[in-house]
Amino acid sequence: MARASFGIGTVRVRPGYAREVELPITRLVTGAEITLPVRVVHGREDGPTVWVTAAIHGDEVVGIEVIRRVLARLNPRTFHGTLVAAPIVNVLGFTAGDRYLPDRRDLNRSFPGSARGSLASRIAHLVMTEVVGRGEVGIDLHTGSFGRTNHPQVRADLDDPRTRLLAEAFGAPVMINARLRDGSLRAAARERGAAVLLYEAGEAWRFDEWAIEAGTAGVRRVLASLGMTDPVATPTAPSLVSRSSSWVRARRTGILQIDAVLGQRVSVGDRLGSLSDSFGKTLRLVHADRSGIVIGRTTAPLVNRGDALIHVAGLDEAVEPLPRHHLDPDLDPDLDPDRS
């Protein structure tokens, strides 16, 4: 028996077809309508329903390109199940080049939202109703906040067996057992029973190719692991596993030079960089205060005492060392676990 059509908003998508849908959000003072763009790939064959979201923070553009590349390789006639993709969740922030909404609210602290609440709450409610609520598996794509860049990684509840298998299938260089944050999309989706992966990689407002490549490959591997597509290449090395991380902070105000690179394995006491004055006199060396892998760093040249410089994730499970991730030669790495 043929699959039923897939309903979203006021549209129904027939099996074996893909369709773009515009879900109304609000109107500008000019009367122009602002909508949430969604693309539904409704396979001809039965299978799970998966959602993928990006740009919940309007300046995090890596995920937008990841979704574009994933969709470009899907054929709804041979696809199993349904994919609901929302590449630009924070449309207003994205068009303004801003992380937040016009009222400065953080959309990723506004879930599950309300149909009668603030603009952020209404957008969150729309996403939960039309996107998240329709799938049993979700992948939320992020980058570092402004002035930081992230090593490719998956954050998830690694104590949940189903989620752990999905994280392993994604195959990011690192997977982190991350706690849920109140108001986040991941927390709200998890509350509704979905298995959710949060992917972090790259820098805000920038198409970092290495971050896009890792994200695209990871999403495709998850779809393949769920039987929605043909098998794809497995990662060259298993993901490193971390259950704790901390930031190395500046002990002096100064101009920062970072020697450590994204994905580098470090030990306690290793030199990670230095702080100098405007004439180049070294004021303080920066050393690792824990062993692990560098998963993030600031991109700011000037730092104040106490600023977060380099994020190191401890490796709590015995695994083979992972080679340094390929980097843009002009880049050094970073991530903020509290901002996604």
- Cα–Cα distance, 303 to 256 (Å, whole number): 7
Q: Which residue has the higher pLDDT, 339 or 18?
A: 18
pLDDT tens profile 209-226: 999 999 999 999 999 999
Give pLDDT tens digits for 267-325: 999 999 999 999 999 999 999 999 999 999 999 999 999 999 999 999 975 444 434 33
In this prediction, residue 326 carries a pLDDT of 34
Q: Which residue has the tokens 């982190």?
A: 176
Q: What is the mean pLDDT of residues 37-58?
A: 98
- Quickly tell me which residue has 């392993």 as its tokens: 168
Query: 336 pLDDT exceeds 60?
Result: no
pLDDT, averaged across the chain? 92
3-class SS of residue 134: helix
Structure confidence at residue 236 (pLDDT):
85
- Identity of the amino acid at 313: A
